[in-house]
Amino acid sequence: MMLVSPEVLHEQIVAILAAWGAPAHKAEAAADVMVDTDLSGIDSHGVAMLQFYEELRDSGRLVLDAEPEVLEDRHGFAVLDAREGLGHPIAIEAMKTAAAKAKRSGIGAVAVRGSNHFGALGYYARLAVEEGCIGFVTTATRTKVASATGGVSPVLGTNPLAFAAPAAGAEPLVVDMSTSVVALNKVRAYGLRGKPLPSGWVIDSAGEPLTDGLEAYELLRRGEATICALGGAGTENGGHKGFGLSLMVQILSSALAGAGQPGHEDDRDNLGHFFMAIDVSAGVSAETVPSYVAELIANVRSGPGEVLVPGEPEEASRRMREAEGIPVPDALLEGVRGVAERAGAPFLIGA
Ligand SMILES: NC(=O)c1ccc[n+]([C@@H]2O[C@H](COP(=O)([O-])OP(=O)(O)OC[C@H]3O[C@@H](n4cnc5c(N)ncnc54)[C@H](O)[C@@H]3O)[C@@H](O)[C@H]2O)c1
Ligand SMILES: O=C(O)C[C@H](O)C(=O)O
């Protein structure tokens, strides 16, 4: 495990994306999101995604210099086509547009189609908070890994959502999660660190729990294992509610923009996202919502026990990693070295 400074990691990601043909501003935007994600302790969705992006690029599904198109632009709603470009820059643009609409109309939303993987959703929900809004983000995902309640084969992605709200005198409250019990790439992140998977995350086609993260990741990508629903298999512990949330995310992310069904299409993924911003001062004073959230946090902490609120673990990680560096396991380091070499980009980590 090597500790890498955020600046070096940023430079490395930009160098690879630029070597692949990304314009500088897009490479910078994607690197900003990926490094923030690694700083936040979300080891699954930052630099660890580069190998997957290389696969997408090599198969022609990721077009680094694509220019997005505005398909619809109404007062409170817009639809963008990312035209197979990088997910991160279009996601930033979409959330900023949603927030600008919210500042005019109280609420604004943007749906995106033809996009690609854009990393951790919380980043974009927090952007809305920076603009004085509540932020809400959903995305469809590429690989079918989760079954429907009552079914056994993978038919849905991990379909995540994120919600962020300002809290007076504190960092925003950020709920950032898959609607399956865990994200696909967190299974891989466990494997890269040699950490066994908790039982109840991934089951093989015989229904047996898998504990090796790298093996589980490969089986999941081949459709030979499933990630359990949020709430577990069946209905006893609420798995049907995770299933329902996943369907909601799929519809918001895909139907509104004309994106695809779960899983990739033959010649393109046509991945969809959804971004919504609500101006916190639309109906009450600008202080009301942040004060309410701060009081709510105090209330949920008021009983015995140690309560973290969503977003806090990531803030704690950010503080620590900004000071100490980002831990990158050896297997991932070698993976990034390979990506850099094949791209003809310098390998900067540890140099
Ligand atoms: N782009 C994609 O296609 C995609 C798909 C799936 C997931 N993801 C990303 O993967 C990441 C991980 O997803 P996940 O479902 O494995 O997340 P997770 O199970 O790690 O849950 C994360 C959420 O739980 C909160 N949390 C953690 N510990 C807590 C505690 N003790 N008390 C209260 N709240 C706590 C965190 O603040 C965060 O909001 C997310 O950033 C998500 O956006 C991306
Ligand atoms: O989009 C994907 O293929 C997977 C997603 O990033 C996840 O980790 O669940």
Q: In angstroms, what is the span from residue 185 Cα to ligand 2's centroid?
A: 6
What's the pLDDT at 264? 74
Give the pLDDT band of residue 278 (cuts 50, 70, 90).
very high
Neighbours of 296 (CB within 10 A): 14
What sign results for the dihedral spanned by CA atoms 335, 61, 180, 206? negative
CATH code: domain of residue 296: 3.30.1370.60
The residue type found at 278 is: I
Is there a domain that residue 18 lies in? Answer: yes
Same domain, 260 and 288: yes
Alpha carbon 1 to chain centroid, angstroms: 24
Same domain, 83 and 168: yes
Ligand 1 atom nearest to CA at 174 = 39
pLDDT, average across residues 69-78: 98
Q: In angstroms, what is the span from residue 150 Cα to ligand 2's centroid?
A: 23
Is there a domain that residue 234 lies in? Answer: no
Ligand 1 atom nearest to CA at 139 = 3
**pLDDT tens-digit series, residues 191-237:** 999 999 999 999 998 999 999 999 999 999 999 999 999 999 889 99
Question: Residue 99: CB partners within 8 Å, gap ≥ 6?
Answer: 108, 127, 128, 131, 132, 133, 135, 277
Alpha carbon 304 to chain centroid, angstroms: 33
Neighbours of 85 (CB within 10 A): 21
Same domain, 54 and 93: no
Q: What is the mean pLDDT of the chain?
A: 96
Is there a domain that residue 206 lies in? Answer: no
Check if the beta carbon of residue 273 is closer than 8 Å to that of residue 112. yes
Eight-state DSSP code of residue 41: T
What tokens appear for 238 in the block?
A: 């609420």
Same domain, 129 and 260: yes
What's the pLDDT at 268? 77
Is there a domain that residue 49 lies in? Answer: yes
Q: Is the minimum distance from the CB of 185 to ligand 2 under 6 angstroms? A: yes
**pLDDT tens-digit series, residues 118-127:** 999 999 999 9
Q: How many domains does the chain have?
A: 2
Same domain, 342 and 327: yes
Give the pLDDT band of residue 351 (cuts 50, 70, 90).
low
pLDDT at 350 over 80: no
Same domain, 340 and 265: no
Give the pLDDT band of residue 266 (cuts 50, 70, 90).
low
pLDDT, average across residues 69-76: 98
Check if the beta carbon of residue 290 is closer than 8 Å to that of residue 166. yes
**pLDDT tens-digit series, residues 45-71:** 999 999 999 999 999 999 999 999 999
Q: Is the minimum distance from the CB of 48 to ligand 2 under 6 angstroms? A: no
Q: Minimal CA–CA distance to 31: which of 52, 51, 44, 15?
A: 15
Ligand 2 atom nearest to CA at 160 = 9
pLDDT at 338 over 90: yes
CATH code: domain of residue 25: 1.10.1530.10
What's the pLDDT at 267? 67
pLDDT, average across residues 320-340: 97
What's the pLDDT at 265? 67
Question: Residue 245: CB partners within 8 Å, gap ≥ 6?
Answer: 159, 161, 179, 230
Same domain, 86 and 54: no
Q: In angstroms, what is the span from residue 81 Cα to ligand 2's centroid?
A: 20
pLDDT, average across residues 19-38: 98
Same domain, 280 and 317: no
Same domain, 13 and 115: no
Q: Is the minimum distance from the CB of 188 to ligand 2 under 6 angstroms? A: no
Range(s) of the domain holding residue 119: 69-141+152-174+241-310
Give the pLDDT band of residue 75 (cuts 50, 70, 90).
very high
Q: What percent of the chain has pLDDT over 90?
A: 95
Buried/exposed 262-279: b ≥16 CB within 10 Å, e otherwise? bbbeeeebbbbbbbbbbb
Sequential DSSP letters for 111-167:
EEEEE-----THHHHHHHHHTTEEEEEEE--SS--BPPTT--S--B----EEEEEEE
pLDDT, average across residues 173-190: 98
